[in-house]
Structure 1
């Protein structure tokens, strides 16, 4: 065997390249992740333009920028600024929030199924929102607060039951699924006891619906999500350390349980805020981190990549929900179909991969 002479190059992994600025600032950049974020930003812009332009009242693309710049083009201003733009902004912002939430829970549980819509936190937030809609008048403030309380209660129950002998990702997911099923049954009981008209509204909203969203709902929720996302970013480094395991994270100075609880609180808040506005939207939080890892070729998921993938997924699904059929359907229906197809593809792809 002939020894290969050293080349002086270091392999940083697929898609990773070292960078150096001014000779003293250096680091390693995952070029695949950067390309994913850039492609997602471009994709979101194109989808947003299509969402604003298409509809029963078509708006030429050449008129969109003047309207956004302040030009008065009559009824087109109302269509763009009051009806379509709030929904487009919501899909991008909410998709990013769900992507980050999914990345957090998959990291905390170290399980690919660790998503808020799988382990019961979505269902808990939905329970709180149903109580608000059906029995307390359904104001935005009450719905948001009860969604947060419901999601936090579900999270506390799952965490308490799963952490008796140390947190295990598999046990966390299994207990979360059980709690989710119980909450879904309880939600059905609540809906059955409502008046028919209110129950119809609750069930339609429960599919994940963005049809009637306006700036009154979008603006405060986006501000809240921006604050929570900043908090998630501050915890991102510690989250990646937790992925190494509790012992390794402790050895590097991470307070494991407080950081884990803080991450769960942030993930629940992101999910609950979105759910309080448009109902539970399935599979975005599950699929976005998967896609981000697949494209970036990394073992872990960066919050930025997951947010970019989530924003593009939800905005694309909402565009399909508006124009795929002759009538509009709730975006949650599209995400369920797309998410189910993605899971089938993912399972098939993994089964076909040769085992090393």
Structure 2
């Protein structure tokens, strides 16, 4: 007796979120967001082009071919101008912008608020107050000031975190407390500026605006080491962002310990913002603008860290290029240009938030 053939249904295909591609490396597989990857590549190209233009343009013009020759280590008569004078400043700007971009992305993810950034919640103001205090008492070494800035930024963040904690970290309370601490620290900074030596006060004012003038590898090296050291932590942060983006009840039901996760993300963001502030001063609004631009470009659920870093680096490089050339021979601090763009954006963001609240959304 023959048995009838059994009809077998094909195995169901593995489901993956829309917009993602599965990338296999050996035995491991990863989900790669297609749009975010394309945006990151585009941003990297824009940053590279801007960097070459920045190395070309100055008091004397250097051709792109000569710039590439210097970057490749080949003998060139433009080695002094490109390799010694312009390249250290460019490297510092790249690292500062990337650090501010990632810092803003992490803090905005924790606060779940697009208004939250290191320069709004008091981190850069704490770093600035500590640095100006040190300069007032005669400590003006650029080799030491970055570490003073880190101590000031961490202290300000710890104060904001302690004042905002009420059995949990509420996003709105976190931002409001940070703004209050920023105002207090700004007043303290102005007090020390009036009490200090005139020449030191002038130097501190330029530093407080945020400037890449005179910056080089001495300022870039500590920031580069911090970024390299934090690579494992940033990989964890990219994963932890998904957890803090959920509402508290859902995340708790999934077994996520929100307190330690938020504290870890905030600590990484604060360290990056503090070291970047020590390298170039508090370059305002880069940490506010970069994550939001990257988020709108990628349209991902979380703020992308890589795109935020590239966007921050691009903003600082473009602002520094414009600050050097638009008002030539006068050279403006890079923070003047970023503030000119960031301040109207902040006001628009506040008005948009108020309009949404009034509409009940």
TM norm. shorter chain > 0.5: yes
Residue of structure 2 equivalent to 1:18: 21
| Deviation by residue 1:4-25 (Cα, 9 ceiling, x = unmatched) | xxxx997945xx1333549976
Whether the 8 Å CA contact 2:219–2:279 is kept in 1: the answer is yes
Which of 39, 44, 61 is matched with 1:41 structurally? 44
Residue 323 (str. 1) matches residue 325 (str. 2): yes
Give the Å deviation of 1:92: 1.5
Residue of structure 1 equivalent to 2:125: 123
Judged with a 3 Å threshold, the aligned counterparts in structure 2 of structure 1 residues 136 and 236 are, in CA distance, closer, same or farther, namely: farther
Residue of structure 1 equivalent to 2:209: 207
Judged with a 3 Å threshold, the aligned counterparts in structure 2 of structure 1 residues 247 and 47 are, in CA distance, closer, same or farther, namely: same
Give the Å deviation of 1:70: 2.5
CA RMSD in angstroms, aligned pairs only: 2.5
Whether the 8 Å CA contact 1:132–1:139 is kept in 2: the answer is no
Which of 116, 138, 141 is matched with 1:139 structurally? 141
The 2-side partners of 1:48 and 1:71 are apart by: 19
Which of 305, 308, 311 is matched with 1:306 structurally? 308
Segments of structure 2 that go 5 or more residues without pairing to the other structure are: 1-12
Judged with a 3 Å threshold, the aligned counterparts in structure 2 of structure 1 residues 260 and 345 are, in CA distance, closer, same or farther, namely: closer
| Deviation by residue 1:256-277 (Cα, 9 ceiling, x = unmatched) | 2222222221111101101111
The 2-side partners of 1:355 and 1:161 are apart by: 29
Aligned length: 345
* TM-score, length basis structure 2: 0.88
Secondary structure in structure 2 of the residue aligned to 1:42: helix
Residue of structure 2 equivalent to 1:3: none
Secondary structure in structure 1 of the residue aligned to 2:22: strand
Which of 196, 201, 205 is matched with 1:194 structurally? 196
Residue of structure 1 equivalent to 2:258: 256
Residue 53 (str. 1) matches residue 59 (str. 2): no
Residue of structure 2 equivalent to 1:223: 225
Secondary structure in structure 2 of the residue aligned to 1:312: helix
Whether the 8 Å CA contact 2:143–2:219 is kept in 1: the answer is no
Judged with a 3 Å threshold, the aligned counterparts in structure 2 of structure 1 residues 22 and 114 are, in CA distance, closer, same or farther, namely: closer
The 1-side partners of 2:76 and 2:167 are apart by: 64
Secondary structure in structure 2 of the residue aligned to 1:115: coil
Residue 97 (str. 1) matches residue 99 (str. 2): yes
The 1-side partners of 2:89 and 2:26 are apart by: 46
The 2-side partners of 1:114 and 1:246 are apart by: 19
Whether the 8 Å CA contact 1:238–1:254 is kept in 2: the answer is no
Judged with a 3 Å threshold, the aligned counterparts in structure 2 of structure 1 residues 234 and 11 are, in CA distance, closer, same or farther, namely: closer
Residue of structure 2 equivalent to 1:65: 68
Judged with a 3 Å threshold, the aligned counterparts in structure 2 of structure 1 residues 192 and 344 are, in CA distance, closer, same or farther, namely: closer
Deviates more, 1:61-70 or 1:96-105: 61-70
Give the Å deviation of 1:224: 2.0
The 2-side partners of 1:227 and 1:24 are apart by: 27
Residue 332 (str. 1) matches residue 335 (str. 2): yes
Q: Which has the larger radius of gyration?
A: 2
Residue 236 (str. 1) matches residue 238 (str. 2): yes
Give the Å deviation of 1:194: 0.7
Judged with a 3 Å threshold, the aligned counterparts in structure 2 of structure 1 residues 299 and 343 are, in CA distance, closer, same or farther, namely: farther
Residue 169 (str. 1) matches residue 171 (str. 2): yes
Secondary structure in structure 2 of the residue aligned to 1:206: helix
| Deviation by residue 1:93-127 (Cα, 9 ceiling, x = unmatched) | 11111111001111111111110100111100111
Give the Å deviation of 1:65: 1.7
